[in-house]
């Protein structure tokens, strides 16, 4: 049984998380993919290829990505290298206080450059990335030509 975990599962967008895949075969080649849909329904994805270690684990913070959206050891690489499916789109969070970005993480056997409905994930999980902490109040600012928002802690 392959298990994908993100610790912590819910966190602020500027906080690091730990991604782990367990239950793989020794030296198994896998594709780890992160995807999310923004508030307009635009899809963003990042993927990286890994070899499982001697214990059947993949940890992007310890194991180098062999290719995909990035190479090398990047603990948060799957989040930092998210790219739009449609060119010239930007990942922007408009409703910072109301809802998080939900990032779906999946692991696939072998190299998966394109994932379609025929591809079966070995395991998956979801991470919440919030832009405002609990209890923070957002106050719109409009003074003359100045526009912005003031975020007040609880």
Single pTM value for the model: 0.88
Share of the chain above pLDDT 70, in %: 97
Q: Identify the sign of the CA torsion 28, 44, 3, 63.
A: positive
Structure-block tokens of residue 113: 């450059």
Q: What whole-number distance in Å separates Cα of residue 107 and Cα of residue 128?
A: 18
What CATH code is assigned to 3-152? 2.60.40.2240
pLDDT of residue 10: 96
Going residue by residue through the chain, which has 154 residues, state the pLDDT in tens, using 9 for 90 and above: 899 999 999 999 999 999 999 999 999 999 999 999 999 999 999 999 999 999 999 999 999 999 999 999 999 999 999 999 999 999 999 888 889 999 999 999 999 887 666 688 999 999 999 999 999 999 999 999 999 999 999 9
Other C-beta atoms closer than 10 Å to the C-beta of 59 total: 16
Instruction: Please report, for the chain, the start and end positions of each structural domain, with discontinuous segments joined by +.
Output: 3-152
φ and ψ at 143, to 5 degrees?
Answer: -140, 110
Structure-block tokens of residue 104: 């779906």
Q: Identify the sign of the CA torsion 103, 109, 111, 112.
A: negative
pLDDT of residue 117: 65
Other C-beta atoms closer than 10 Å to the C-beta of 76 total: 14
């Amino acid at each position: 049984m392959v298990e994908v975990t993100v610790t912590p599962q819910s966190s602020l967008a500027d906080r690091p998380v730990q991604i782990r895949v367990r239950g793989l075969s020794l030296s198994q080649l896998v594709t780890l993919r992160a995807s999310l849909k923004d508030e307009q329904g635009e899809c963003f994805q990042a993927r990286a290829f890994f070899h499982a270690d001697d214990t059947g684990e993949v940890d992007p913070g310890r194991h180098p990505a062999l290719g995909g959206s990035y190479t090398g050891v990047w603990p948060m690489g799957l989040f930092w290298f998210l790219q739009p499916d449609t060119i010239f789109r930007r990942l922007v969070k408009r409703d910072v206080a109301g809802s998080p970005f939900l990032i779906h993480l999946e692991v696939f056997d072998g190299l998966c450059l394109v994932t379609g409905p025929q591809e079966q994930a070995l395991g998956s999980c979801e991470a919440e990335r919030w832009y405002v902490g609990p209890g923070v109040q957002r106050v719109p600012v409009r003074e003359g030509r100045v526009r912005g928002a003031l975020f007040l802690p609880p």
